[in-house]
Amino acid sequence: MRAALAFAILVLASSAADAQRIWRCGPDGRVLQDRPCDDGQALVVREDTPSAEDTAAAREVARRERAHADQLRAERQAREREAAAAPAGFVEPEKPAVKSVLKKTPKAKPKKAKKKRPD
C-alpha cells in the first residue's frame, strides 16, 4: 500500500511542471532545442492535459478492452479444459462442413470388339 501511495505522489509531482522552455533555432526555425542558441527564439510549451471527455472516452475503451480480454481468457480456458479431458494422443477427426451431394455414377462397361469374318 505504501508503495502505491509513493508512486501516486511521484506521478503527481512529476506532472506539476506545467510548462517548459524550448528554443526554435536555425535559419527557418525548424530546429527545436532545450538550450538557447545564437539566433533562437524562446518558446513556452505547455503540457496538453486531456479534457474530461477524452478521459471518459479512454476509460470506456479500456473497459471494453478489459471485457474482451476476459472473454478471450474464458474461451481459452474452456479449450484447455476440453483438451485436458481428452485421452492422451487422441485427435478427433474433423467433421466435413458440407456433405457430398454428388452421386456415384455407374462405370460404363467396355464394348466387346467384333471379330471380322474372312469373306
pLDDT digits (tens, 9 = 90+) for 2-49: 776 666 666 566 554 556 777 788 777 788 888 787 766 666 666 778
- Residues, the chain, total? 119
DSSP string covering 68-81: HHHHHHHHHHHHHH
**pLDDT number for residue 19:** 63
pLDDT digits (tens, 9 = 90+) for 56-68: 999 999 999 999 9
